[in-house]
């Protein structure tokens, strides 16, 4: 029986950025025999609903979460993203 792992892209910024690091990791894990899902929250209308739907149907053995940016790197908005990541971890 293989271990199931879900890798979560928490980047919610637009335009979306491909989670290439997670793709590399998923490929390496699959080669080693793990079952891997990629949950890309950047594509979600509502990330909380997307997470709830995924975890209500799946019971992964491990969850990997990536954080691409801690802020939006834009002086005018100063959008700080860590509170979103913290909320996702609690979900």
Low-confidence ranges of the chain (pLDDT < 70): 1, 68-81, 84-85, 88-89, 91
Report pTM: 0.77
pLDDT of residue 39: 92
43 backbone φψ class: left, alpha, beta (φ>0; ψ -120 to 50): alpha
Could you give the number of structural domains in the chain? 1
Q: Which range of residues forms the domain containing residue 12? A: 4-90
Give the whole-angstrom CA distance, residue 62 versus residue 74. Answer: 34
pLDDT of residue 5: 97
């Amino acid at each position: 029986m293989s271990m199931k792992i879900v890798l979560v892209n928490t980047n919610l910024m637009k335009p979306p950025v491909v989670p290439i690091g997670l793709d590399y990791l998923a490929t390496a894990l699959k080669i080693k025999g793990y079952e891997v899902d990629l949950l890309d929250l950047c594509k979600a209308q509502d990330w909380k609903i997307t997470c709830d739907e995924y975890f209500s149907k799946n019971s992964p053995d491990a969850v990997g979460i990536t954080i691409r940016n801690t802020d939006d790197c834009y002086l005018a908005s100063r959008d700080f993203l860590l509170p979103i990541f913290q909320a996702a971890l609690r979900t």
